[in-house]
Structure 1
Amino acid sequence: MNPAKLGATRDLLTAGLSNSAIARQLRVDKHDVALLRQELGLPNTPAQPLTVEQKWRLRVRDLPGGHLAWTGERQRTSGTPVMRHSGRCYTAARIAFRIKHGTDPQGYAAPGCGTRHCVAPEHIDDLPRRQRDRAALRLVLGSPQRPTHCRRGHDQAEDGQLLPDGTAYCARCSADRKQSPTAP
Structure 2
Amino acid sequence: MNPTKIGPARDLLTAGLSNSAIARQLHVDKHDVATLRTEMGLPNVPAQPLTVEQKWRQRVRPAVGGHLEWTGERATGSGTPVMRHSGQAYTAARIAYRIKHGTDPQGYAAPGCGMRHCVSPDHIDDLPRRQRDRAALRIVHGKPGRPATCRHGHDQAEHGQYLPDGTAYCARCSADRKKVGTAR
Shared fold, TM over 0.5: yes
Q: CA deviation at 1:114?
A: 0.2
Amino acid at match of 2:94: R
Q: CA deviation at 1:64?
A: 1.1
SS in structure 2 opposite 1:180? helix
Higher mean alpha-carbon deviation, 165-174 vs 18-27, is at: 18-27
Aligned length: 167
**Structure 1 unpaired stretches of 5+:** 1-11
After TM superposition, the score normalised by the length of structure 1 is 0.78
Number of the residue aligned with 1:75: 75
Number of the residue aligned with 1:119: 119
SS in structure 1 opposite 2:75? coil
Q: CA deviation at 1:18?
A: 6.5
Distance (whole Å) between structure 2 residues aligned to residue 86 and residue 64 of structure 1: 32
Equivalent residues in 2 for 1:157-172 (5 A)?
Answer: 157-172=157-172
Amino acid at match of 1:165: D
Write the deviation string for residues 83-108 of structure 1: whole angstroms up to 9, x where unpaired.
Answer: 11111110000000000000000000
Amino acid at match of 1:91: T
Distance 1:16 1:63, change over 3 A: closer
Runs of 4+ in 1 over 6 A off after TM superposition: 14-23
Number of the residue aligned with 1:45: 46
SS in structure 2 opposite 1:135? helix
Amino acid at match of 1:52: V
Q: Share of identical aligned residues, percent?
A: 75
Q: Rg larger in 1 or in 2?
A: 1
Amino acid at match of 1:86: S
RMSD: 3.1
Distance (whole Å) between structure 1 residues aligned to residue 101 and residue 91 of structure 2: 16
SS in structure 1 opposite 2:181? coil
